[in-house]
């Protein structure tokens, strides 16, 4: 698993598509009802965090992937994809992050209880 935060002991794992569709150095956005999750491939390892910046309502998917960090397109705060930490102001609150893995050629994530 990629997320450095505590992990649930089991899934359910949700299929995010073929790993070929998320090559290293790229991101994709998963939308489920009004919740958006950003999935990034960092050197072959998938990471999943909330897509909405914690400062204002900006989609990090529209920002820049910089190694294991994503930079917000609006005011430039960077977040660590490994643990969701806000690294720069003006964002002060960390992103939620989710377990992610590559399994049988598919990218999979777990959406934690309470999120839709």
| Least Å from the CB of residue 75 to ligand FES | 3
For residues 31-62, b (16+ Cβ closer than 10 Å) or e, as one string? eeeeeebbbbbbeebbbbbbbbbbbeebbbbe
Binding site for ligand FES (CB under 6 A): 53, 55-56, 58, 72, 74-75, 77, 90-91
Cβ proximity to ligand FES, 53 vs 107, nearer residue: 53
CB of 44 to ligand FES, least distance (A): 27
Nearer residue to ligand FES within complex by CB, 38 or 58? 58
In the bound state with ligand FES, the residue whose beta carbon lies nearer, of 42 and 72, is: 72
């Amino acid at each position: 698993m990629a997320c450095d935060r505590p992990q649930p002991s089991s899934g359910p794992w949700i299929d995010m598509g073929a790993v070929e569709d998320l090559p290293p150095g790229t991101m994709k956005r998963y939308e489920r009802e009004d919740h958006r999750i950003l999935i990034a491939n960092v050197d072959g390892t998938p990471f999943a965090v909330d897509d909405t910046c914690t400062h204002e309502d900006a989609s990090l998917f529209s920002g820049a992937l910089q190694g294991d960090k994503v930079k917000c397109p609006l005011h430039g705060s960077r977040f660590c994809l490994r643990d969701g930490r806000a690294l720069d102001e003006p964002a002060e609150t960390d992103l939620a992050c989710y377990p992610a893995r590559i399994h049988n050629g598919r990218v999979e994530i777990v959406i934690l209880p309470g999120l839709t």
